[in-house]
């Protein structure tokens, strides 16, 4: 059994055509989903394809959940013109298998005064901002990944306090918000 899907993406949103209703005519690629895998533009499924190890619908659900978070953060950036300046230490997945534990341990060391936040970023962070002591500069709401963005712009987070670990698609972050502009009255 196969299901043919056509996905059209535009500035106004997306249209998904699963074969029912009006056909969508376009030069956009078509995607066919089989039990053995995914085929683009009407190609054929290899005869001895292995069955995917992950459930396709679970994966699609995770993608949809992340996209929902991403678009809500991006939309917030359209209507919220606040800016913030923050620094971070990133324990990237590629280098650190135990990033969450290392981030928590480093947070204790920073809070006890054993090491400064900037020195910690320079020594441990896998982000290019490590060369600047983890400083990300000033950015608008919606410019960062959703988990990071919501923490930085959360009014309950005190300025200058080390927060985290915050898990994102890049790894675990320790974050220090240096400044945040106030919301403008509507």
Token pair, residue 7, equals 């996905």
CB distance 70 to 146 below 8 Å = yes
- What's the pTM value of the predicted model, to 2 decimals? 0.61
pLDDT tens for 67-99 read 666 566 666 656 778 999 999 999 999 999 999
Whether 148 shows a pLDDT value over 90: the answer reads yes
113 backbone φψ class: left, alpha, beta (φ>0; ψ -120 to 50): left
Q: Which residues pair with 25 in a beta bridge?
A: none
pLDDT mean across residues, the chain: 76
pLDDT at 175: 98
Band (pLDDT 50/70/90 cuts) for residue 52 is low
How many residues belong to the chain? 186
82-180: what fold?
Chitinase A; domain 3 (3.10.50)
Q: Which residue has the tokens 């996905």?
A: 7
Distance CA 68, CA 160 (A): 30
> In this predicted model, which residue has the larger pLDDT, 113 or 26?
113
Whether 27 shows a pLDDT value over 60: the answer reads no
pLDDT at 24: 43
Estimate to the nearest angstrom the gap between the alpha carbon of 181 and the chain centroid.
23
Band (pLDDT 50/70/90 cuts) for residue 155 is very high
> In this predicted model, which residue has the larger pLDDT, 34 or 123?
123
**Mean pLDDT across 88-116:** 97
CA distances from 100 to 13, 66, 95, 125, 152 (A): 35, 20, 12, 13, 19
CA distances from 78 to 75, 111, 146 (A): 5, 35, 14
pLDDT at 182: 85
């Amino acid at each position: 059994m196969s299901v043919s899907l056509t996905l059209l993406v535009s500035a106004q949103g997306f249209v998904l055509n699963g074969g029912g209703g009006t056909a969508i005519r376009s030069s956009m690629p078509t995607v066919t989903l089989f039990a053995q895998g995914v085929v683009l533009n009407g190609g054929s499924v290899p005869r001895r394809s292995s069955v995917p190890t992950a459930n396709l619908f679970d994966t699609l659900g995770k993608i949809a959940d992340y996209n929902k978070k991403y678009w809500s953060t991006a939309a917030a950036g359209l209507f919220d013109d606040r800016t913030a300046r923050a620094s971070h230490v990133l324990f990237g997945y590629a280098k650190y298998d135990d990033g969450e534990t290392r981030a928590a341990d480093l947070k204790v060391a920073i809070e006890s005064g054993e090491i400064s936040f900037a020195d910690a970023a320079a020594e441990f962070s896998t982000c290019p901002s490590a060369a600047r002591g983890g400083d990300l500069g000033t950015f608008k709401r919606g410019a960062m990944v959703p988990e990071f963005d919501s923490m930085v712009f959360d009014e309950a987070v005190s300025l200058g306090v080390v927060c985290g670990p915050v898990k994102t698609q890049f790894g675990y972050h320790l974050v220090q918000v240096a400044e945040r502009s106030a919301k403008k009255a509507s």
